[in-house]
A and B are shown apart, each in its own frame.
Chain A
């Protein structure tokens, strides 16, 4: 469903991504981890063209992302994305947040959009909060709303960019629970995350990145059992040791 082939990206002389390649098939859940500055967020932002790249090719559902003729809004409408800092629209109520793109991008009727929004809000356990504004919700609740907002578009896959790293520890699980449920329902997911418990539980594969390169791309049992590369071993020992 997503092919990343030999993608490189640089800001001036600084190379952020070096020759990255991987394939994501339908229904697969992939966790991307690695030290900060390793290019993980940049890589997944290349998939929906929020970040441009200079070399290589990314194909999502048969559409080449880097092609200048590609209708990017149309492509992005099919790829859900959840951000580290939620990025809910603060001037709109929760329901309006969930309905806006359905109305403007997909052209759904108000009734249809509202119906979809309330059913997804219920699914993330926030049905009672539809009329509130993002500022009135906790971080964990806001991130669940952000997931629901992305799901309202009926995406073919979901990208998560460190969805729990801006959260207080006691709120991480409520967000991970929603993600686990989504994974178990068969959603294709690509998650930049350091939540190794989550990775062990639902990831089919783990991608480890360092200095802009994909150092390791392995089934999760294999990755957690015995990573091949020294750098991944070191990384794992650091984040699992306490």
Chain B
């Protein structure tokens, strides 16, 4: 019978490198959440707009990104972004744009998902609220900003956080560009020391602990909000 001898000794020394990887993961996640919510809110409002071409544009954008694998979108941006930025001063063919293109790719992709969550949130607010805001003399912007969106955001907070947790896990897909995010860093260390199994188990445990705690927090929050 074969047995596998686990050897965890390469992990302690690799922690600083793994932490650097985690920072990359967190940077991409936060940037995608931030841009995703802002751009997603705009997309959701465009999609709900009475201006046909705005609503068509938003619907097209959302359907496009939701129908393409994330991996493909990321690859596009890794390949396209350096070309687009070729003429920009300070950027040479050697400049490492992998982090930036990962951020752009994730942000644009996640916006499509956030837009749908936010649109559902906006639609969950009774029409009378908007009518009341209008009746008080507010224009569309003010009614959205002060009356509809704050309530909608509150309703959709659990969904937005859940989407953020999924996003956090999906960032591991940047391995296609050999960018050392947390997963990539763990893979590199494991590959170097011939301890791939241990490192990947360790990485899995870290993802699990972080995501499970975050989703427990979401559950706690949404229960408290209902109370």
Instruction: List A residues at the B interface (Cβ < 8 Å).
Output: 48, 50, 72-74, 76-81, 83, 85, 87-91, 100-101, 104-106, 149-150, 153
Contact = CB atoms under 8 A, between A and B. Distances in A.
Q: Ordered nearest first, which 7 A-B pairs have the shortest CB separation?
A: A77-B137, A87-B132, A101-B136, A81-B135, A105-B137, A87-B128, A73-B139
Contacts of A88: 132
Contact of B138 (A80, A87, A104): A104
Nearest to B142: A104
A88 B139 CA distance: 17
24 contacts: A48-B135, A50-B135, A73-B134, A73-B137, A73-B139, A76-B134, A76-B135, A76-B136, A76-B137, A77-B136, A79-B135, A80-B135, A81-B132, A83-B131, A83-B135, A91-B154, A100-B146, A100-B147, A101-B137, A105-B136, A105-B142, A149-B136, A150-B136, A153-B137
B129 interface: yes
B56 to A, nearest CB: 23
Contact of B131 (A50, A78, A80, A153): A50
A135 to B, nearest CB: 12
Interface of B: 128-129, 131-139, 142, 146-147, 150-151, 154
A72 B131 CA distance: 13
Contacts of A91: 150-151, 154
Contacts of A80: 135
A87 B131 contact: yes
Contacts of A104: 138, 142, 146
Contacts of B136: 76-77, 100-101, 105, 149-150, 153
A57 to B, nearest CB: 21
A153 B132 CA distance: 13
Contacts of B142: 104-105
Contact of B134 (A50, A78, A149, A150): A50
A83 B154 contact: no
Most chain B CB within a 10 A radius of its CB, from A50, A74, A81, A87: A87
Contacts of A153: 136-137
Given A73-B139, A87-B132, 7 more contacts: A50-B131, A73-B138, A89-B133, A89-B146, A91-B151, A91-B154, A153-B136
Contacts of A50: 131, 134-135
A81 B136 CA distance: 8
A89 B129 contact: yes
A83 B127 CA distance: 12
A79 B132 CA distance: 12
Contacts of B147: 89, 100
Contacts of A79: 135
B141 to A, nearest CB: 10
A88 to B, nearest CB: 8
Contacts of B139: 73
A74 B137 contact: yes
A198 to B, nearest CB: 22
Given A89-B147, A91-B151, A91-B154, A105 B129 contact: no
A110 to B, nearest CB: 15
Contacts of B154: 91
A105 B138 contact: yes
A76 to B, nearest CB: 5
Contacts of B137: 73-74, 76-78, 101, 105-106, 153
B128 A85 contact: yes
A78 B136 CA distance: 8
B129 A87 contact: yes
A83 B151 CA distance: 19
Contacts of B131: 50, 83, 87
A1 B54 CA distance: 39
A74 B154 CA distance: 30
Most chain A CB within a 10 A radius of its CB, from B129, B135, B139: B135
A154 B86 CA distance: 59
A83 B128 contact: yes
Nearest to B150: A91
B175 to A, nearest CB: 42
